[in-house]
Amino acid sequence: MKPAVSARPSPLTIAIRIGRGAVFAARRQPATAGAFVLTVGLFAAATAHSLGFASLSNVRTLSIFAAFVGLAAMGETLVIIAGGLDLSVPWLIDFGGIALSQMHRGLHISLPLILLLVVLLGMVLGAVNGLLVTFLRAPPLIVTLGVGGLIEGYLVAVGTLQSSGDVVPDGIERFANARIGPFPDITLVWLALAVVAAFILSRTSLGRRIYAVGDNARAARLAGIHVERVKFATYVISGATATLAGVLLTGYIQTAYVGMGGDYLFGAIAAIALGGTALLGGTGSSWGTVAGACTLTVLAGLLPVLGLNTAAVKIVYGAIILAGVYFARAVQQIGGGRHGAEALREVQTLQRASGMEAMDTHHMGAAGRSMARHSAISGQ
Amino acid sequence: MEAELALTPAKRHGVWPLTVRPSGGALVMVPLFAILLLTDVLLQPDILTKPQIALTIQTALPLILVSIAQCIVLLTGGIDISVGGTMVIATVLTATWVGAGSGSVWRLMLVPLVGLILGAFNGALVVVGNFEPFIATLGTWAIYDGIALQILPSAGGTTPPALSAWAQNVTNLVPTSVLLLVFTLAVWWYWRSTNLCRHIYSVGSDETRARLSGVNIRKTKFSVYAIAGLFAALAGIYLALITGTGDATIGDGYILSSVEACVLGGISLEGGAGGVGLAVAGAFILTFIDGITSVLVLPPWVSIVLSAGLLILVIGLRSRLTKQA
- What would the pLDDT profile of B141-165 be if each residue is shown by its tens digit? 999 999 999 998 888 888 888 888 8
Residue A137 region by backbone torsions, left for phi larger than 0, else alpha for psi between -120 and 50, else beta: left
What's the mean pLDDT in B161-174?
Answer: 82
Q: Which residues of A touch B (CB under 8 A)?
A: 87, 132, 136-139, 141-143, 145-150, 152-154, 156-157, 160, 266, 269-270, 273, 278-280, 309-319, 321-322, 325-326, 329
B79-94 residue pLDDT tens: 999 999 999 999 999 9
Q: How confident is the model at residue B290 (pLDDT cuts 50, 70, 90)?
A: confident
pLDDT (tens digit, 9 = 90+) per residue, B113-138? 999 999 999 999 999 988 989 989 99
User: In whole angstroms, what is the distance from residue B211 CA to residue B50 CA?
Assistant: 48
Q: Chain A contacts of B269, Cβ < 8 Å? A: 139, 141-142
pLDDT at B6: 37
Of B105, B255, B230, the closest CA to residue A265 belongs to: B255
A123, A239 in Cβ contact below 8 A?
yes
User: Do residues B4 and B281 touch, judged by C-beta distance below 8 A?
Assistant: no
Check residue A361 and give its pLDDT.
37
**Residue B244 DSSP one-character state:** S
The complex scores an ipTM of 0.81
- Residues in contact with A316: Cβ distance below 8 Å, sequence separation at least 6, in sequence order: A299, A303, A308, B146
Instruction: Show Cβ contacts of residue A83 under 8 Å, excluding neighbours closer than 6 positions.
Output: A213, A214, A215, A217, A231, A280, A281, A282
Phi (first) and psi of residue B22, to 5 degrees: -60, 120
CA angle B68, B71, B73 (to 5 degrees): 115
Residue of B135, B247, B313 to mutate when probing chain A, most A C-beta within 10 A: B135
Chain A contact probe: residue of B96, B304, B310 with most A CBs at under 10 A: B304
pLDDT of residue A354: 57
What number is the average pLDDT over the span B171-195? 87
Taking alpha carbons only, the member of B249, B298, B285, B229 closest to residue B63 is B285
Whole-number mean pLDDT of chain A?
Answer: 82
Say which residue, A176 or B16, is predicted with more confidence. Answer: A176
Segment A126-179, tens digit of pLDDT: 999 999 999 888 889 889 999 999 999 999 888 755 545 557 888 888 888 888
* Chain A with chain B: Cβ pairs closer than 8 A: 146
Residue in B138, B299, B300 closest to A270 by CB: B138
Short-list A297, A299, A306, A287, CA closest to A323: A299
Is A338 within 8 Å of A29 (Cβ atoms)?
A: yes
* pLDDT value at residue A279: 85
Model-wide pTM > 0.90 = no
Q: Taking CA A154 as the corner, what is the angle to CA A148 and CA A157, rounded to the nearest 5 degrees?
A: 140
Q: Quick check: B260 and B157 in contact, CB under 8 A?
A: no
Contact A136 B301 (CB under 8 A): no
In the DSSP assignment, the letter for residue B249 is T
The DSSP secondary-structure symbol of A179 reads E
Q: Look at residue A356 in the predicted model and tell me its pLDDT.
A: 47
Cβ proximity of A64 and A294 under 8 Å: no
Contact B237, B157 (CB under 8 A): no
Reduce the secondary structure of B63-130 to three states and give it as a string.
HHHHHHHHHHHHHCCCCCCCHHHHHHHHHHHHHHHHCCCHHHHHHHHHHHHHHHHHHHHHHHHHHCCC
With DSSP H G I counted as helix, E B as strand and the rest as coil, what are the percentages for chain B, rounded to 5?
Answer: 75, 0, 25
Report, as ranges of residue numbers, the positions in chain A whose pLDDT lies below 50.
1, 163, 337-338, 356-380
What pLDDT is attached to residue A166?
57
